[in-house]
Structure 1
Amino acid sequence: MGKVAVQGQTDGHSGTTVRRRRVFYIPGYDPIHPRRYRELYRSESAAQARISGYEIAQRPKQAGGAYGWHVSARLEGAEVEADVEVLVWSDIVRGSMAASIPATYLQLARTAWIYISTGALSRLMHLRKGPVIAALYPVGMLLLQLILAVLAGWPFAMVAQGLVQAGLAAAIGSEGASVVGTLVFLVVFGAVASFLLRWFKARDGKLFAYYLMHDYAYSADARGANPPELEARIGDFRQLVRSAVEENTVDEVLIVGHSSGAHVGVSVLADLLREGLPETRPALGFLSLGQVVPMVSFLPHAHRLRADLRYLSASPDIAWVDVSAPGDGCAFALCDPVAVSGVAPEDKRWPLVISAAFSQTLSPARWKELRWRFFRLHFQYLCAFDQPGDYDYFKITAGPITLAERFKRRQPSKSRIEAATSGYTSVSAP
């Protein structure tokens, strides 16, 4: 089988067509079972195929690995087979979300203090206000829930205290009744406030306050350093990708990192490339979607991530395309994650920063329907576009052209942000 020649990569490849591909998808901070991504791919690829006039089908996976699916496609004049595998870290996410209600409020205080005291928050606001507002949303929502719980508990507690004191004053005296009344006040207040806070938490599937708070707290807890369990999982992911590269049975190995999965993917690939690659190998591509890299790389102890960004951006052995859209309020849209983090080397090659341009690639009716559904829009990169442009997730993952070849003539977005903004640029711990 011929290997793919990729512009900007070393001569480990020959030929121009992808017939077989391995795709490794790294989700963001998501506690949900990976079947969600299988079903999303199935439904949205079928929708895109109807719109764009190609054929694509999905069935159980044939390659090894924990979870994934197999794709057969006939598009762009060729037949392609692809195995998609989800690199699962949802168990780590669920573990980090197990905090009690009081612990979550402690997380809120600690996370807010870290971002404010380090200056990261103010610097992030110079990039895009959308994701910063998204970061502030759980703080505001959780504080609002706490205020409502206090306001609800207070009158109930006052009434209960008054009734108890009035009823006991004659029997045990006003002083004794006051002590008992105070205890009743505290018990009733605590019970009502606690009930309301638990009620809010039970509905977090619609409010997302606890979910987002845990997300930001997870990255901020060690001030940008990877928690040990995530570092270990990055090592596991690296080995899975290495096995696919060394097996050399496909034409392209493509890593897709969405949201927080983008910065996980950066570290996976940086470690892989530092180890060295075999001379004969598939083309290697990295597609980052809706990235939130600055939320981590701007923190003081994110030495590892900044070093990985710097290293990966200069590598001739990979093609890296970063796709975002200003309409996605949860991503740092069109912010070059290497440049804004202040670690761009002189020989920087990557990433190619382009826009999915939701307002253009979605019809006016569809855009109107989705525009204010912020969390749904954050996943639009994985979905069908009814007025597709040059970004088509299913052509990239199941089409006959490598990532590098598909975008080699694509100019970066003119409105991309490249100004070094982070206050912390060190790539090694002091």
Structure 2
Amino acid sequence: MRLLAYLAAFFDYVASGTMIRFFQTNWRFALYFLYPFAALLAFLWIGSLGFRLVSLVDPPGGLILPLVAGIGLTVVVGGYLGRRYFVFHLMDLWSFSREHLHCRRADMDARLSAWGDLIKDRIADANFDEVLLVGHSTGGAMILDLAELVGERLETEGRAVNFKVLTVGSTSLKVALHPAANRARARMAALATRMQIRWIEFQALTDIINFYKCDPYALAGLTHDRREAFPQQYQVRFREMLEPAIYRRIKRNFFRVHYQFISANSRQYFYDFFMICCGTRSLEEARPGSMPLIDGEQRWAEHNRTKVHHD
């Protein structure tokens, strides 16, 4: 079922033209999209080698032993490499993304609804300095859904809709670029109409999994009446966040690079995930040219903050 669900998702993205949109928008992300499918083809090729090698010795039983060898090699090698290199994880992720954008995941809708109620009620409990909803990777798409649900409920109750959305290493366009993602685009459009909501996104060139230098709102085919950009986008350089030895160690592992967005810095830099989410500095202060440091009396200042993180 896992394989069938993934293949259905893959060919849905191909047949709908979404894969072409990936190439038009960010060709590196398009290659990332192809990665699990290419890996499956490689596993089959490895199995075919086993089939041919056993066939060369002309074993008794005709094709039975070559088939067993080929299938066994595919399963064993594919199983190991699939887990080791996140192939199965990405298959499940694409399957989920397809089902969610088609509004076929009632379980996730219920979870988002519950989170929306929880955040709405939590905000009512105290006067927070900052309410920040955070999404990374696929969570960058999910957090936009959640933010609109929270905004709608606050507005229905006549309360201020005043929180911030932070997306880092986001892949929200893998949902929004699909022609069937009408609900996702409608929720993004509704977010822009709630003028007190601020959406800020951080992107990185070295992360092939995010849509670098791509405006997720505009590329979804949406327009807004705000004076400022929505989202406000900033590029970060992982090389400047990390000690040289650490950067050299991780730079060729594109999964590890992708997760650097939500990992600790080893050097001072304006983007510091934990200072933004757990520190006393507000999101607006994390800008190029600023340093995420706290000094003097501010170091011990108590700030009431709520952070909700989706990955």
Q: Which residue type is aligned with residue 271 of structure 1? A: L
Structure 1 CA distance for aligned equivalents of residues 100 and 121 of structure 2: 31
Q: Which residue type is aligned with residue 115 of structure 1? A: Y
Residue 224 of structure 1: CA displacement? 4.4
Structure 1 CA distance for aligned equivalents of residues 162 and 286 of structure 2: 14
Asked whether 1:192 is paired with 2:84, we answer no
Aligned residue number for residue 82 of structure 1: none
Residue 375 of structure 1: CA displacement? 0.5
Give the TM-score normalised by the residue count of structure 2. 0.82
Residue 269 of structure 1: CA displacement? 0.9
Distance 1:297 1:150, change over 3 A: same
| Max Rg structure | 1
8 Å Cα contact 2:145/2:184 also seen in 1: yes
Aligned residue number for residue 23 of structure 2: 125
Distance 1:292 1:190, change over 3 A: same
Residue 108 of structure 1: CA displacement? 4.7
Which runs of 5 or more residues in structure 1 are unaligned?
1-98, 165-180, 412-430
Asked whether 1:336 is paired with 2:205, we answer no
Aligned residue number for residue 301 of structure 2: none
8 Å Cα contact 1:245/1:281 also seen in 2: no
Structure 1 CA distance for aligned equivalents of residues 53 and 281 of structure 2: 66
Aligned partner (choices 274, 292, 301) of residue 394 of structure 1: 274
Q: Which residue type is aligned with residue 269 of structure 2? A: G
Aligned partner (choices 295, 298, 301) of residue 180 of structure 2: 301
Structure 2 CA distance for aligned equivalents of residues 152 and 109 of structure 1: 24
8 Å Cα contact 2:165/2:200 also seen in 1: yes
Asked whether 1:142 is paired with 2:19, we answer no
Structure 2 CA distance for aligned equivalents of residues 314 and 155 of structure 1: 63
Moved beyond 6 Å, runs of 4+: 278-282, 408-411
Aligned partner (choices 175, 190, 203) of residue 311 of structure 1: 190
Residue 286 of structure 1: CA displacement? 1.5
Q: Which residue type is aligned with residue 179 of structure 2? A: P
**Cα-to-partner distance string for 1:26-47 (whole Å, 9 max, x where unaligned):** xxxxxxxxxxxxxxxxxxxxxx
Asked whether 1:263 is paired with 2:263, we answer no
* Number of residue pairs aligned between Structure 1 and Structure 2: 287
8 Å Cα contact 1:291/1:332 also seen in 2: yes
Aligned residue number for residue 86 of structure 1: none
**Cα-to-partner distance string for 1:350-389 (whole Å, 9 max, x where unaligned):** 2111112223333443332221111011111122223332
Q: How does 1:2-401 map to 2 (within 5 A)?
A: 99=1, 103-104=2-3, 106-157=4-55, 159=57, 162-164=58-60, 181-182=61-62, 185-186=63-64, 188-199=65-76, 200-221=78-99, 224-225=102-103, 227-248=105-126, 250-277=128-155, 284-347=163-226, 349=228, 350-401=230-281
Distance 1:125 1:189, change over 3 A: same
**Cα-to-partner distance string for 1:295-319 (whole Å, 9 max, x where unaligned):** 1111121111111111213322322
**Cα-to-partner distance string for 1:28-80 (whole Å, 9 max, x where unaligned):** xxxxxxxxxxxxxxxxxxxxxxxxxxxxxxxxxxxxxxxxxxxxxxxxxxxxx
**Cα-to-partner distance string for 1:191-231 (whole Å, 9 max, x where unaligned):** 22332232121443322222212211222246644522211
Q: Greater helix share, 1 or 2?
A: 2
Distance 1:329 1:224, change over 3 A: farther
Q: Alpha carbon RMSD of aligned pairs, Å?
A: 2.7
Q: Which residue type is aligned with residue 192 of structure 1? A: A
Deviating more after overlay: 210-219 vs 140-149: 210-219
Q: Which residue type is aligned with residue 277 of structure 2? A: T
Distance 1:330 1:238, change over 3 A: same
Deviating more after overlay: 385-394 vs 230-239: 385-394
8 Å Cα contact 1:323/1:334 also seen in 2: no
8 Å Cα contact 1:223/1:301 also seen in 2: yes
Aligned-partner SS, 2:25: coil
Q: Which residue type is aligned with residue 248 of structure 1? A: A
8 Å Cα contact 1:313/1:351 also seen in 2: no
8 Å Cα contact 1:245/1:282 also seen in 2: no
Residue 247 of structure 1: CA displacement? 1.2
8 Å Cα contact 2:270/2:287 also seen in 1: no
**Cα-to-partner distance string for 1:102-121 (whole Å, 9 max, x where unaligned):** x51x3454333222222111
Structure 1 CA distance for aligned equivalents of residues 232 and 28 of structure 2: 22
Structure 2 CA distance for aligned equivalents of residues 400 and 127 of structure 1: 36
Structure 2 CA distance for aligned equivalents of residues 276 and 223 of structure 1: 24
